């Protein structure tokens, strides 16, 4: 890299709240992007292994979606539509039905709960409570579901929880898969405490779960664990909510991340990549018999983000008319996993985990994970840490990334790891 002048970030420092975070990790000012690449205003290109935290599964400014979007906007299609019927919404619903629900034998009603993941989760929790008449929700260690009060109450991160400023209640954490490193039978505690009428656990309305916890540190639930969870919920009359905001839309391979387990959740949330182009959009799916909403009982101004319906439809047509994307995600996932496993084999204190194109490299020493991301950034790769102590380098490349780009990024990562871990060894 040639030396560049420090970017002008004055206005951000002066005017933007201290809450900003990614801009601290990546001290550049970005200007344009395409596919797996993003460019800063100094003209420097970065390979993006973060992909909008999973919101850009089809890459930045995907040309197929872009064309559809520009045409739509150019023709003065409806931009803002509340929850009015629009042609764009109809096409989205029909395509979602045809390409996603029908082939999978899924019979979900679709709610547009507001265009963000946390809106979708809030709607899911409200519905589960309304349907069951119960207030309590079971979540899992390491969970991340969003920042509004309902979603935050089922989120694990203690720093984020503290931001609520009030005690977060109505939720009880249970151990996620492998929380005890296999020492204990799955759901031993959960099942025991559920069935013991003297346990003091409030009977839950629902269980909310991610099949792979992204923010939690790329913790992967085994299919058999998910099946056992679904059975447990079903046998006890507890609703199962799969939060597929980050892991849905093909991130782990299939469209829905729970397909690997062969289960059918009662409620599913989707957001991030459902809009396809990085435009805000979210869905709450529910079994038809759970659709007890009164008209207008949950609303929101931006439920009908029609440009997002257009790009969402284009994405479903382009990528989900057949099984090619899902297969390629598995192949590329294997490529990433192999590279990470290799690193884990070469250096002490590292381990690899993931499913499809969400892969993590866990470090015993969290400061190494941070150093790897810094080093990678300097070498032109965007990657971020996750996990309770930010001890995991989390890789979320676009699903549409080429194998060459993937190889390039993994090379940068490998060198970064090598440099950080060697340096550490030399110091030691």
| Window 265-294: residues binding a second copy (CB under 8 A) | 271-272, 277-280, 284, 286, 291-294
Options 20-28, 262-270, 371-379, 405-413: segment touching a second copy (CB under 8 A): 20-28
Length of the chain: 428
State in angstroms the smallest separation of the CB of 325 from a second copy.
19
Q: Give how far the C-alpha of residue 307 lies from the chain's centroid of Cα atoms, to the nearest Å.
A: 21
What's the rounded Cα separation, in Å, for the pair 405 and 402?
Answer: 5
State in angstroms the smallest separation of the CB of 422 from a second copy.
29
Residues 28-87 that bind a second copy (CB under 8 A): 28-34, 38, 41, 52-56, 60-61, 66, 69-70, 73-87
Residues 296-325 that bind a second copy (CB under 8 A): 296-302, 305, 307
Q: DSSP H helical segments within 87-246, as ranges?
A: 87-95, 117-132, 149-153, 158-162, 188-195, 223-236
**Pairing relationship of beta strands 283-286 and 37-40 according to DSSP bridges:** unpaired
**Size, binding site for a second copy by CB under 8 A:** 156
- Considering the complex, state which of residue 149 and residue 324 has its C-beta at the smaller distance from a second copy: 149
State in angstroms the smallest separation of the CB of 327 from a second copy.
26
CA angle (175, 230, 232) in 5-degree steps = 70
What's the rounded Cα separation, in Å, for the pair 358 and 219?
Answer: 10
Does 143 bind a second copy (CB under 8 A)? Our answer is: yes
Does 106 bind a second copy (CB under 8 A)? Our answer is: no
Q: Which of 134, 141, 97, 47 lies closest to 396, judged by CA?
A: 47
State in angstroms the smallest separation of the CB of 380 from a second copy.
15
Options 118-126, 323-331, 342-350, 407-415: segment touching a second copy (CB under 8 A): 118-126
Does 182 bind a second copy (CB under 8 A)? Our answer is: no
Residues 388-427 that bind a second copy (CB under 8 A): 388-389
Q: Which residues pair with 45 in a beta bridge?
A: 39
Residues 346-385 that bind a second copy (CB under 8 A): none
What residues contact 129, with CB distance under 8 A and at least 6 apart? 135, 137, 205, 206
State in angstroms the smallest separation of the CB of 374 from a second copy.
15
Give the orientation angle of helix 403-427 with respect to helix 324-346, to 10 degrees.
20
Rg for the chain, CA atoms, rounded? 22
Select from 106, 164, 341, 407 the one that contacts a second copy (CB under 8 A): 164
State in angstroms the smallest separation of the CB of 304 from a second copy.
9
What's the rounded Cα separation, in Å, for the pair 416 and 378?
Answer: 9
State in angstroms the smallest separation of the CB of 334 from a second copy.
27
Residues 184-203 that bind a second copy (CB under 8 A): 184, 188-189, 192-193, 196-203
What's the rounded Cα separation, in Å, for the pair 97 and 253?
Answer: 19
State in angstroms the smallest separation of the CB of 224 from a second copy.
20
Select from 44, 104, 126, 330 the one that contacts a second copy (CB under 8 A): 126
CA-to-CA dists, residue 228 to 182, 206, 325, angstroms? 15, 15, 28
Does 109 bind a second copy (CB under 8 A)? Our answer is: yes
């Amino acid at each position: 890299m040639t030396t560049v002048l420090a970017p002008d970030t004055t206005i951000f420092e002066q005017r933007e709240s201290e809450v900003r975070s990614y801009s601290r990790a990546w001290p550049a000012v970005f200007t344009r992007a395409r596919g797996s690449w993003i460019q800063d205003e100094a003209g420097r290109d970065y390979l993006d292994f973060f992909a909008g935290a999973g919101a850009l599964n089809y890459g930045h400014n995907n040309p197929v979606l872009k064309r559809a979007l520009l045409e739509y906007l150019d023709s003065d299609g409806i931009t803002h539509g509340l929850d009015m019927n629009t042609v764009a919404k109809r096409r989205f619903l029909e395509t979602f039905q045809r390409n996603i629900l029908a082939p999978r034998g899924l019979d979900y009603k679709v709610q547009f709960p507001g265009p963000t993941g946390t809106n979708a989760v809030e709607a899911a929790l409200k519905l589960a409570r309304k349907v069951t008449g119960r207030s309590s929700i079971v979540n899992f260690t390491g969970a991340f579901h969003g920042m509004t009060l309902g979603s935050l109450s089922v989120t694990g991160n203690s720093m984020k929880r503290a931001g609520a400023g009030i005690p977060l209640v109505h939720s009880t954490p249970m151990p996620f898969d492998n929380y005890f490193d296999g020492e204990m039978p799955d759901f031993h505690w959960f099942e025991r405490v559920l069935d013991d009428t003297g346990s003091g656990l409030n009977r839950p309305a629902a269980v909310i779960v991610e099949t792979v916890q992204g923010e939690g540190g790329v913790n992967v639930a085994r299919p058999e664990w998910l099946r056992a969870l679904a059975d447990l919920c079903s046998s006890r009359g507890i609703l199962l909510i799969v939060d597929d905001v980050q892991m849905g839309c093909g991130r782990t391979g299939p469209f829905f991340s729970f397909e690997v387990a062969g289960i059918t959740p009662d409620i599913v949330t989707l957001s991030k990549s459902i809009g396809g182009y990085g435009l805000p959009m979210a869905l709450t799916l529910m079994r038809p018999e759970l659709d007890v909403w009164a008209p207008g009982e949950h609303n929101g101004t931006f439920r009908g983000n029609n440009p997002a319906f257009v790009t969402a439809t284009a994405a479903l047509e382009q990528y989900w008319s057949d099984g090619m994307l899902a297969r390629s995600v598995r192949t590329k996932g294997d490529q990433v996993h192999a590279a990470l496993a290799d690193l884990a084999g070469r250096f002490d204190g590292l381990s690899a985990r993931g499913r499809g194109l969400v892969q993590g490299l866990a470090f015993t020493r969290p400061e190494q994970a941070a150093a790897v991301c810094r080093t990678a950034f300097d070498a032109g790769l965007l990657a971020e840490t996750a996990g309770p102590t930010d001890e995991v380098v989390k890789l979320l490349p676009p699903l549409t990334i080429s194998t060459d780009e993937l190889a390039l990024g993994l090379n940068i990562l490998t060198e970064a790891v090598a440099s950080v871990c060697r340096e550490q060894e030399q110091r030691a």
